[in-house]
Every structure is written in C-alpha cells, then in structure tokens.
Amino acid sequence: MNKLGKAIFLDRDGVINHDPGDYTTCLAEFTLLPTVVNSLKILHDAGYALILITNQGGIAKGLYGHAEVAEIHAHFRQLCADSGVQITDIFYSPHHPDYGESLSRKPGSLMIEKACAKHGIDPKKSWMVGDKTRDLEAGASAGVEGILLPVNGDLSKILDQLISCPTKAQIMGDTLQWQADKHETFLVNGKLTDETALPNPIRNRGFRYADGFFETIRVVHGKAQHVELHFSRLTDSIRAHQMDHPESLTLDRFTESLQALCSANQIQAGGRIRMTFFRDGGGRYTPETKSVFWVAEAEALEHNVFEINEQGLHVDLYTDMKKTKGPLSNFKNLAATIYVQSAIWASNQELDDALISNEQFQVIESSRSNLFLVSNGVLYTPGLESGPVGGVMRAAIINVALANEYKVYECNLTPQEMLRADELFLTNAIRGIQWVASYRTKRYFNTTSRTLVNQLNATLLS
C-alpha cells in the first residue's frame, strides 16, 4: 500500500510508448518514448505510486488478445525495474464502444476508482497524465486533476508541474485548483504543439498558390459539433483537390484530435476551430507531391450554444463579380477572392452581408453563408449544382427541418423569388442561423428561423 497516498496515473500509448496512430498489437510494436524511464524514476523517488490506466479496445475488435497485452506490460515493468522504478499497478479496459458499453473504459473513471481503493490513493494528491481529453475526463470524474501531453510528447517537460507545483493539501488545503499556464496550442498534422512547430508562413503552397482548403467547426459545451459532416466534406475536399488522404486521418483520430485541441486551449463552452489544409512539398504550378499538410487552431467564443440575432441583417446582391461553377465550387477553398471582395463591398455599402450569384444570375449564397428562403412554411435553398459551398450547417439545417416535418427543396433561386419570400435566413457552421430583415425594399419575418435555432440546439452534443 502506498503510504503517501499519492499517485501519478498514466495513459499508455502516446505517453509511455510511441503511439503509431492505431493500436500497439504486440511486443515488437512497443517502443518506449525516450525520456519515460528517467521521468518515472524521478516521480518514483518523489514518493508517487505509478499506475497505468489504459484502454485496449483492440481486444474487443479481435486485433490482439490479453496475452499480448500481458507480455507488453511484463516487458515494461522489467525495463522500469532495471532502472530502480517500481510500477505499482496496471489497469486496462479490453472494451470498445462498437462492441458494447463499459464503465471501465475511459472516459469512464472505474479503473482509477479501483486503483484508489486498492492502493489507498488520495485523488486530491494525485495527477492523471494523458494525451487525450478522455484521459483527463476519466481523472476528473474520479477527483484527479489532469495534465494533457501532446501525443508522443515528452514526459520530462511536465515534471516540474507534477513535483514542484505541489499537491493541494501542502499549500492551501483542499481549495487549491491547479491550472496549466495558458499558451495557445495548435494541431499540426494531428499532433498538439505550440507555435514553434507551425509551417513557414511564406514557403508553403497554401500561401503561394492557394493550393488547399479550410474547415471551420463550431464548439459547444467544449465539444466539436457536426464532426461527421465536417469529416465527410474534408474527405471530399482532399479528393477534389487531387491530394492523398493521410492514412492517420481517420474519423476517430480526427474527433479525438479536435477534443484534445479544445482541452489544450481550455475551451469548455463555446468555441471555433479553424482547420487549414494545403498541399505539402514544393513545385510551382505543377506540384511535386499529393501529400497533405494541415494545421488547426481554436479560440473561445462568447456564446456557448447558437443564438438568433436580435437585429435582422440587411443584405443586397453583389454584381461586380459572379461565381463560376466548377469541380471545386462546393468546397471552402483558400482561393476566396469573390468572398473577400463581396464582403468589402457590403461594408462599403453599410450592409451586413452581400449575396452572390453565379453566371446564370441565380442567387446561390452570401459572402460567408448559405442561403434559405421560406415561403408558405416551405424551405428553399440553392442546389449544390448551382455552385454554392456545400455548407455543413446547411446540411444540418436540412436534417433538422426534415426531422421536424418541414418540406425542404433544393432548387435554383432568382432575385425575383427572394422578393416573394416570407423569410430569408443565412446559415454557417459558426453562427448557426441568422435571419435577414431586408433585401432591397423587401422586409422579412423570422418565425421559422427562431424555431429552427431552438431545434438545432436540441441536437447538439453536450
């Protein structure tokens, strides 16, 4: 029994050993990260019990078995023992949500609670170290504060926080709440890092040729929303830009990376994530590679859930440029000249937004949003074949409307049809729904848009 009553709970893959991006299925794939043993020795000598808390869902998937996990853990224990480090215990969950629910699997806290009970650990004197938000959520549910490392990060870099930044009881009793220093954290190709690892702002194809695209994702309750829709669109965007989809960019890893980014930037309510994808490598107009490089950043927003604008927007049709339909029309391309110029025009005209038309004089979107008309309780939105961005919020609103028994039609819209509509509202991933008060001499209501905002909020992850 640990008489000091304090422990360091550690995730395994990505904290103790190299995380290959999928599963560590056997001993041959198990590689300790360089500073781990020495860091554990320092923590051990400081009086901490060392306990592994790891999800091993590959067992449920049939990728490996308990024997392989036991062999890896025996090897790890021996490597530590050779350096005078005792691993107090190892807990692992063999479950996976695709094959059944389990309270032991992180973000569930059962493994940590069992460890505390078995070894007399005081959660308030202990830490949880992980590379995913679910690790920290598991710790928080058991009363253990957490520190988020980058995937395959350097454990030695947080030793001062674990040891020098003392336990709560030593300084201020049970009221002290430790928080990490707030530094902006980014995702670079799926790995958490600071600004020192960001790509060169000049020598990349995104800057030089606008050879790429971007995604903006809304965060509510600290969680990225509509992730599957965003992942589907970015997959289509990669294909349309004739790039190769990274093998490591799976839906599961994408989701976990976004949550880790929010956690690292301490976004617990509303927020915005911007992801920029561009072709890696050099070349001029003819690229040298199809590889993708991507960066994500996150910022907190004032509002948590979507809120309807109290003052309706005033808009008009921008006519200086028209959007050309093509194979990239439906994506959020880095080449955004028409959106920038139309937004400048709207500002100069003291308007809230500018509507954009295609070469067939059909109104297709605004400088920053998709477009919906409401007439006699029926929703109409420009079809993707007319050239608008295939907005994630556009898709979400269509789904919400259909689920609530609205009729929705995707069709071509003209300026004359806008003048006959009862309502006009704009949608995008960050703002949700914004109702329009006027287009030229036409004035609009907002009954449907207000109802849809409430129905949209009811579908969000919490």
Is the full-model pTM beyond 0.75?
A: no
Question: DSSP 3-state assignment of 375?
Answer: strand
- Note the maximum CA span of the chain: 81
Cis-peptide, bond into residue 107, ω within 30° of zero: yes
Provide the pLDDT for residue 164.
Answer: 61
State the pLDDT at residue 183.
56
Q: How far apart are CA 343 and CA 448, in angstroms?
A: 26
By three-state DSSP, how is residue 428 classified?
A: strand
Task: Identify whether 11 is a catalytic site residue.
Answer: yes
The candidate with the shortest Cα–Cα distance to 257, out of 295, 220, 306, is 295
Measured between its terminal Cα atoms, the distance across the chain in Å is: 38
Classify 376 as helix, strand or coil: coil
Options 11, 211, 280, 352, the catalytic residue = 11
Residue 13's closest CA among 44, 52, 40, 43?
Answer: 52
Q: Is 122 a catalytic residue?
A: no
**C-alpha dihedral (385, 388, 394, 398), degrees to nearest 10:** -30
Q: Characterise 236 by phi-psi region: left (phi > 0), alpha (psi -120 to 50), beta (else).
A: alpha
- Identify the active-site residue in 13, 19, 131, 135: 13
| Per-residue pLDDT in tens (0 to 9) along the chain, 462 residues | 444 589 999 999 999 999 988 899 999 999 999 999 999 999 999 999 999 999 999 999 999 999 999 999 999 999 999 999 999 999 999 998 888 778 789 988 999 999 998 999 999 899 999 998 889 989 988 889 999 999 999 999 999 888 864 444 333 333 233 333 345 889 999 888 877 778 877 888 999 999 999 999 999 999 999 999 999 999 999 999 999 999 989 999 999 999 889 988 889 899 999 999 999 988 999 999 999 999 999 999 999 999 999 999 999 999 999 999 999 999 999 999 999 999 999 999 999 999 999 999 999 999 999 999 999 999 999 999 999 999 999 999 999 999 999 999 999 999 999 999 999 999 999 999 999 999 999 999 999 999 999 999 999 987
Nearest to 242 by CA among 274, 191, 188, 286: 286
Q: Which domains does the chain have, with CATH numbers?
A: 7-175 (3.40.50.1000), 186-300 (3.30.470.10), 313-457 (3.20.10.10)
Beta carbons within 10 angstroms of residue 67's beta carbon: 9
